Amino acid sequence: YSRARNLHAGAKEIVCKYGGAFPSTKEDLLKIKGLGSYTAGAILAFAFQKRAAAVDGNVRRVLARYDAIQLSIDLPSVQKVMEERTLALLPTTDPHQVMEGLIELGALICQKNPQCFKCPLSNGCRAYINGLEKELPIRRKRPKILALHRLVWIAIQGNHVLVSKGKKGKVMADLWHFPFFELDTMIDIEVVEKELESFLGQVTYAKELDTIKHGFTRYQATLYPHVWVSATQVELLNHTWVHIDQLTSLPFCSGHRELARELKSVVLSLGV
């Protein structure tokens, strides 16, 4: 969602600041929200056919093997060297064709399991010559996936449902979600109900919904949704009562979006 939001902001900037046309220098392209080094390089290389490096994962894999780079290709310092190396390989005439060739070479031949016997560069490839083609590139270990267990409490009052919006700077920034408690162990629903009554007033337990699993960044979350009917619409800080017909128009984070789609039929079945 943040990527889409940045691209939308970038599109508006291109219209307002550049008259609807992409700027033709990397310096100006990198000022546009949502554009990174690869995208800026790709625009220059393929839209403007300039001598510009568009270094994606495919190109990094080719370079790491061809030069037998023994450092992690995830390091910013290594990526900078690779961008400079790529630029040095590009001719002044039709550089975009060589740039596209490097990308396609990585995508089709120099893959995770390389097909060196098909590669036109194998005679000069230091990894292939030294039998290192399956050991390179080196990558940093991905962070361990962390498991989250969340009891999602869905408060319904009439045709309205209580929702909250992620705070800026947090993982779910600007995305809507239903309130939840983080769980270390499974807890008694009666305990949860007493907690809810402390700030919602009178509530009545209605039903449990199907468990939902969803992943985001380095987390795997399991949601345990439970529905309560609230006697009144108590105003809570950072929470909003939303009509069920408006739920699906809000940008929910993935697991909660599935809940939002299901809730209208749940509310109707309860007859509240």
Gap between the Cα atoms of 230 and 158, Å rounded? 8
Out of 129, 156, 177, a domain closes at 129
Do 150 and 175 fall within a single domain?
yes
Do 107 and 65 fall within a single domain?
yes
- Mean pLDDT confidence for 142-162: 90
Do 227 and 257 fall within a single domain?
yes
Q: What is the CATH number of the domain that holds 91?
A: 1.10.1670.10
Q: Is residue 7 part of a domain?
A: no
Do 191 and 246 fall within a single domain?
yes
Residue that the structure tokens 């390089």 belong to? 41
Do 154 and 266 fall within a single domain?
yes
Gap between the Cα atoms of 95 and 53, Å rounded? 9
Q: Is residue 19 part of a domain?
A: no
Out of 77, 96, 129, a domain closes at 129
Do 120 and 165 fall within a single domain?
no
pLDDT exceeds 80 at position 186: no
pLDDT in tens, 191-244: 888 888 888 899 999 999 999 998 887 889 999 999 999 999 998 888 999 999
The crossing angle, in degrees rounded to 10, of helices 57-66 and 76-89 is: 80
Q: Higher model confidence: residue 167 or residue 60?
A: 60
Start-end of H helices in the chain: 2-18, 26-29, 37-42, 57-66, 76-89, 95-108, 126-129, 189-200, 254-270
Cβ atoms of 221 and 148 closer than 8 Å:
yes
pLDDT, residue 199, reads 87
pTM of the model: 0.61
Q: Is residue 30 part of a domain?
A: no
Q: 189-194: long-range contacts (C-beta < 8 A, 24 or more apart)?
A: 189/226, 192/151, 192/153, 192/226, 193/228
Is the alpha carbon torsion for 60, 65, 67, 71 positive or negative? positive
Q: Is residue 116 part of a domain?
A: yes
Number of domains composing the chain: 2
Do 240 and 150 fall within a single domain?
yes
pLDDT exceeds 70 at position 105: yes
CA-nearest of 221, 155, 151 to 188 is 151
Task: Show the tokens assigned to 257.
Answer: 């979006």
pLDDT exceeds 80 at position 130: yes
Do 200 and 261 fall within a single domain?
yes
Q: What is the CATH number of the domain that holds 228?
A: 3.90.79.10
Q: Is residue 2 part of a domain?
A: no
Do 156 and 266 fall within a single domain?
yes
pLDDT, residue 1, reads 58
φ, ψ of residue 208 to 5 degrees: the values are -105, 140
Q: Is residue 27 part of a domain?
A: no
pLDDT, residue 272, reads 65
Q: Half-sphere exposure of 46 toward its Cβ, with a 13 Å CA cutoff?
A: 12
Out of 99, 129, 159, a domain closes at 129
Q: Is residue 136 part of a domain?
A: no
Do 59 and 124 fall within a single domain?
yes
Other CB atoms closer than 10 Å to residue 190's CB: what's the count? 9
Instruction: Supply the range of the domain harboring residue 52.
Output: 36-129
- Mean pLDDT confidence for 105-116: 97
pLDDT above 70 as % of the chain: 97
Q: Which residues pair with 72 in a beta bridge?
A: 138
Do 120 and 207 fall within a single domain?
no
